[in-house]
């Protein structure tokens, strides 16, 4: 019997983190090393007890005492804040599930990358913001990088590396989100409560709203470019409301290979953590007779400009991915707080991209963090100006 492999989950209390713990309970061959969360201390402490983690970390310095008290009768080590997150990422483990939401996940994921851990990557922001530098850190560290994002996991499953010469295109599927058929006038006044209601997938708040604005697909286009080393022209998006085909790869002989499944992230997580051997998972099976049909629609970049911005970021290259992501995160937080409108998220992001169009490419991660900070400052300024003007 081979010894158990160890895993650290960065962002264990989130949607992907909880699904990962569920998958681990099914795989039975992995042992948890460290877990990290943020404000949900009760859940984090419960997860630490059940999983047998050796270290547990809250990202929030102010909650250190609460977490420590919640685990006072155990010998589980407790830490907090940025340093705590890095400590968790650097602690020895075979695997790291990178499932913190947003740019906050970049520094800890990089720390895990540098020590050579195998990375199951849910945090797409690492690739959108740091792209080539992140991939270089992966190569230098020597670990494997396996995508967890369902589209990229699907492509990873059907992209035949020995047929690279014949790879023609990557087709990312998109559900279209809750506003798939809405006009821009209808979208103008929606609130976060409406925007978060995803038709197919159950996900965290931010990615759900990003799905409604199609910013999630925009990030995924940039993620795909880096992961699969393709040109922007080779990346297509097709709206597929049932979310059954998770993405496809087209070859020069006209063949298209797809990966299908129920919209359940546990399949992608299980595939990543068990690679190269498929696991046995208790998830719902597709019932084709019940499904009856699969629909497709061309994406509408006029109603959903986020995808146009992704193409702009990809063709411009340099730091434009980091700018797009940081400006979008600030606009998204303002939308969640009711300080800016749904359509303003793309407008703000585009304004910041234009203002930072001539920033030179990043040579180090410090450059990336500086660009991120400047894009956040500019986005905040634009949003405040509009709030004052309104």
Q: Which residues bind ligand NAD (CB under 6 A)?
A: 11-17, 37-38, 59, 85, 99-101, 104, 122-125, 149, 201, 203-207, 265
Collapsing DSSP to helix, strand or coil, 82 comes out as: helix
Minimum CB distance to Mg ion smaller for 113 or for 150 = 150
100 binds, among ligand NAD, Mg ion, none (CB under 5 to 8 A by kind): ligand NAD
The residue whose two tokens read 């295109």 is 169
DSSP of 278-292: ------PPP-HHHH-
Minimum CB distance to ligand NAD smaller for 121 or for 344 = 121
Minimum CB distance to ligand NAD smaller for 197 or for 357 = 197
CB of 369 to ligand NAD, least distance (A): 14
d(C-alpha 55, C-alpha 67), whole Å: 11
| Residues whose CB is less than 8 angstroms from the CB of residue 142 and which lie 6 or more positions away in sequence, other chains included | 116
38 binds, among ligand NAD, Mg ion, none (CB under 5 to 8 A by kind): ligand NAD
CB of 238 to ligand NAD, least distance (A): 18
| Residues whose CB is less than 8 angstroms from the CB of residue 31 and which lie 6 or more positions away in sequence, other chains included | 4, 5, 6, 7, 52
Q: Quick one: which of 132, 134, 78 has its CA closest to 110?
A: 134
27 binds, among ligand NAD, Mg ion, none (CB under 5 to 8 A by kind): none
End-to-end, the C-alpha distance of the chain in Å comes to 66
- Name the residue with the smallest CB distance to Mg ion: 149
CB of 279 to ligand NAD, least distance (A): 18
- Name the residue with the smallest CB distance to ligand NAD: 14
CB of 170 to Mg ion, least distance (A): 13
CB of 150 to Mg ion, least distance (A): 5
d(C-alpha 212, C-alpha 221), whole Å: 16
Binding site for Mg ion (CB under 5 A): 149-151
d(C-alpha 78, C-alpha 157), whole Å: 37
d(C-alpha 141, C-alpha 368), whole Å: 19
CB of 101 to Mg ion, least distance (A): 13
**What b/e string do you get for 179-215 counting C-beta neighbours within 10 Å, with b at 16 or more?**
bbeeeeeebeebebeebbebebbebbebbbbbbbbbb
15 binds, among Mg ion, ligand NAD, none (CB under 5 to 8 A by kind): ligand NAD
201 binds, among Mg ion, ligand NAD, none (CB under 5 to 8 A by kind): ligand NAD
How many other β-carbons are positioned within 10 Å of the β-carbon of residue 73? 8
6 binds, among ligand NAD, Mg ion, none (CB under 5 to 8 A by kind): none
Minimum CB distance to ligand NAD smaller for 102 or for 250 = 102
Minimum CB distance to ligand NAD smaller for 157 or for 167 = 157
CB of 206 to ligand NAD, least distance (A): 6
Minimum CB distance to Mg ion smaller for 207 or for 356 = 207
Minimum CB distance to ligand NAD smaller for 58 or for 93 = 58
Minimum CB distance to Mg ion smaller for 37 or for 177 = 177
203 binds, among ligand NAD, Mg ion, none (CB under 5 to 8 A by kind): ligand NAD
CA-to-CA separations, 192 to 85, 198, 206, 326, in angstroms, rounded: 29, 12, 10, 19
d(C-alpha 205, C-alpha 207), whole Å: 6
d(C-alpha 102, C-alpha 124), whole Å: 8
Report whether 109 contacts 88 (CB < 8 A).
no
CB of 9 to ligand NAD, least distance (A): 8
Minimum CB distance to Mg ion smaller for 151 or for 372 = 151
CB of 162 to ligand NAD, least distance (A): 28
């Amino acid at each position: 019997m081979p010894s158990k492999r160890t895993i650290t989950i960065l962002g264990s209390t989130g949607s992907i983190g909880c699904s990962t713990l569920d998958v681990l309970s099914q795989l039975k061959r992995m042992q948890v090393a460290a877990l990290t969360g943020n404000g949900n201390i009760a859940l984090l402490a419960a997860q630490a007890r059940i999983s047998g983690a050796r270290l547990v970390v809250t990202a929030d310095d102010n909650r250190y005492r609460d977490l420590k008290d919640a685990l006072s009768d155990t010998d589980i080590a407790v830490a907090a804040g940025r340093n705590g997150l890095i400590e968790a990422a650097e602690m020895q483990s075979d695997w790291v599930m990178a499932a913190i939401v947003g740019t906050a996940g970049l520094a800890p994921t990089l720390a895990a990358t540098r020590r050579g851990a195998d990375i199951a990557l849910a945090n797409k922001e690492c690739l959108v913001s740091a792209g080539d530098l992140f991939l270089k850190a992966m190569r230098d560290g020597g670990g494997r990088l396996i995508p967890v994002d369902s589209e990229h996991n699907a492509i990873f499953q059907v992209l035949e590396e020995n047929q690279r010469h014949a790879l023609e295109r990557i087709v990312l599927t998109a559900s279209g989100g809750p506003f798939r058929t809405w006009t821009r006038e209808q979208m103008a006044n929606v609130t976060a409560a409406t925007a978060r209601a995803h038709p197919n997938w159950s996900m965290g708040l931010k990615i759900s709203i990003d799905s409604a604005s199609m910013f999630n697909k925009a990030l995924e286009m940039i993620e795909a470019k880096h992961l699969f080393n393709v040109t922007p022209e080779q990346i297509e998006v097709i709206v597929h409301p049932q979310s059954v085909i998770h993405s496809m790869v087209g070859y020069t002989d006209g063949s298209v290979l797809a990966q299908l499944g129920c919209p359940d992230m546990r399949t992608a997580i299980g595939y990543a953590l068990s690679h190269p051997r498929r696991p046995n998972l208790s998830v719902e099976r597709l019932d084709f007779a019940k499904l009856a049909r699969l629909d497709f629609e061309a994406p509408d970049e006029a109603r959903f400009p986020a995808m146009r911005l992704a193409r702009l970021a990809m063709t411009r290259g340099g730091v434009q991915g980091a700018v797009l992501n940081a400006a979008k995160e600030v606009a998204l937080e303002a939308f969640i707080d009711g300080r800016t409108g749904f359509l303003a998220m793309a407008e703000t992001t585009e304004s910041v991209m234009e203002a930072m169009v001539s920033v030179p490419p990043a040579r180090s991660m410090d450059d990336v963090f500086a660009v991120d900070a400047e894009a956040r400052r500019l986005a905040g300024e634009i949003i405040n100006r509009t709030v004052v003007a309104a």
